[in-house]
A and B are shown apart, each in its own frame.
Chain A
Amino acid sequence: MSSSILARGIPSRSPAEGSRYAAMEAVFDAIAHPAQVPGPRLAKFSRRRFMQATGIAGGGLMLGFVLKAKPAHATPTTLQPNAFLRIDADGILLYAKNPEIGQGVKTSLPMIIAEELDAAWDDVVVRQAPIDGAAFGPQFAGGSMSVPMNWDTLRQAGAAARTMLVAAAARRLRVPPAELSTRDSFVVHAASGKRIAYQDLASAAAKFPVPDASALKLKDRRHYRLLGTRVTGVDNDALVRGQPLFGVDQAVPGMKYAVYQKCPAVGGGVSSFNRDAIAKVPGVRDVFALEGNGKFAELLPGIAIVADSTWAAIRAKRELKVEWNLDQASKDSWSDSARKAETLRHVSGEKRVVDDGDVDTAFADADTTLDAYYTYRFVSHAQLEPQNCTAWWRDGAVELWAPTQTPDSGIKAVAGVLGIDPSKVTVHQTRIGGGFGRRLYNDFMTEAAAISKRYGGPVKLQWTREDDMSHDLFRAGGFHQLRGSLDAEGRVSGWRDRFITFTHGNGRPVSGGDMSRGVFPTGLLANCRIEQTELEWKTPCGAWRAPGSNVFGFVVQGFLHELAVAAGRDHLEVLLEVLGEPRWMEEGNIRALHTGRAADVVKLAAKKAGWGRKMPKGRGLGLAFYFSHAGHFAEVADVSVDANRKITVHNVTVAADVGPIINLSGAENQVEGSVVDGLSTMLGLSVTFEEGVVQQSNFDSYPMLRMPHTPNVDIHFIDSDYQPTGLGEPALPPLAPAVCNAIYAATGERIRTLPISLEGYSV
Chain B
Amino acid sequence: MLRLNVNGKVRELSDDEASTPLLWVLRDALGLTGTKFGCGVSICGACTVLLDGEPIRSCSMPASAASGRDVTTIEGLASEDGELTQVQQAWIDLDVAQCGYCQTGQIMGATALLQSNPKPSDDEIDAAMAGNICRCGTYLRIRKAIKQAAGNMGESA
Residue of A nearest to B43 (CB): A699
Residue of B nearest to A246 (CB): B101
Query: In the complex, how many residues of chain A place their beta carbon closer than 8 angstroms to a beta carbon of chain B?
Result: 66
Inter-subunit contact A309/B24 (CB<8 Å):
yes
Inter-subunit contact B92/A706 (CB<8 Å):
no
A707 and B143 contact, Cβ closer than 8 Å, known pairs A240-B103, A674-B137: yes
Residues of B contacting A: mostly: loop
A699 to B90, CA, bound (A): 28
Inter-subunit contact A251/B133 (CB<8 Å):
no
Interface residues of A in 12-59 (CB under 8 A from B): none
Give the chain B neighbours of A712 by CB distance below 8 A. Answer: 140
A410 to B60, CA, bound (A): 33
A102 and B126 contact, Cβ closer than 8 Å, known pairs A384-B46, A699-B43: no
Give the chain B neighbours of A104 by CB distance below 8 A. Answer: 98
CB distance from A97 to the nearest CB of B (A): 18
A575 to B77, CA, bound (A): 52
Inter-subunit contact B95/A248 (CB<8 Å):
no
Give the chain A neighbours of B50 by CB distance below 8 A. Answer: none
A26 to B157, CA, bound (A): 44
Inter-subunit contact A311/B98 (CB<8 Å):
no
CB distance from A299 to the nearest CB of B (A): 23
Residue of A nearest to B103 (CB): A239
Give the chain A neighbours of B153 by CB distance below 8 A. Answer: none
A385 to B101, CA, bound (A): 7
Inter-subunit contact A249/B137 (CB<8 Å):
no
Inter-subunit contact A237/B92 (CB<8 Å):
yes
Give the chain A neighbours of B92 by CB distance below 8 A. Answer: 232, 236-237, 240
Inter-subunit contact B33/A710 (CB<8 Å):
no
Residue of A nearest to B106 (CB): A707
Query: In the complex, how many residues of chain B place their beta carbon closer than 8 angstroms to a beta carbon of chain A?
Result: 61
Inter-subunit contact A309/B138 (CB<8 Å):
no
- Indicate if A708 sits at the interface (CB-CB under 8 A): yes
Inter-subunit contact A384/B133 (CB<8 Å):
yes
Residues of A contacting B: mostly: loop
Residue in contact with A232 in the complex, picked from B95, B102, B104, B107, CB distance below 8 Å: B95
A462 to B16, CA, bound (A): 21
Inter-subunit contact B99/A677 (CB<8 Å):
no
- Indicate if A503 sits at the interface (CB-CB under 8 A): no
Of A68-76, A267-275, A664-672, the segment with at least 4 beta carbons within 8 Å of chain B is A664-672
Inter-subunit contact B88/A241 (CB<8 Å):
yes
Give the chain B neighbours of A436 by CB distance below 8 A. Answer: 135
CB distance from A90 to the nearest CB of B (A): 21
A251 to B134, CA, bound (A): 25
Inter-subunit contact B33/A673 (CB<8 Å):
no
Of A341-349, A391-399, A427-435, A549-557, the segment with at least 4 beta carbons within 8 Å of chain B is A427-435
A708 to B75, CA, bound (A): 28
CB distance from B93 to the nearest CB of A (A): 7
Inter-subunit contact B28/A230 (CB<8 Å):
no
A676 and B137 contact, Cβ closer than 8 Å, known pairs A242-B74, A311-B21: yes
Residues of A whose CB lies within 8 Å of any CB of B are 100-104, 230-233, 235-237, 239-246, 248-249, 251, 257, 282, 309-311, 314, 382-386, 431-436, 462, 464-466, 665-666, 669-670, 672-677, 680, 698-700, 704-708, 710, 712-713
Q: A236-B100, A673-B138 are in contact. List 14 more A-B contacts (CB 8 A).
A: A102-B97, A242-B32, A242-B74, A384-B136, A385-B99, A433-B36, A433-B101, A665-B95, A669-B141, A699-B43, A699-B133, A700-B41, A707-B130, A712-B140
CB-based closest 3 A-B pairs: A242-B34, A676-B137, A102-B99
12 chain-A/chain-B pairs, Cβ below 8 angstroms = A232-B94, A233-B100, A236-B92, A241-B74, A384-B101, A385-B36, A434-B99, A669-B138, A704-B133, A707-B132, A708-B126, A710-B137
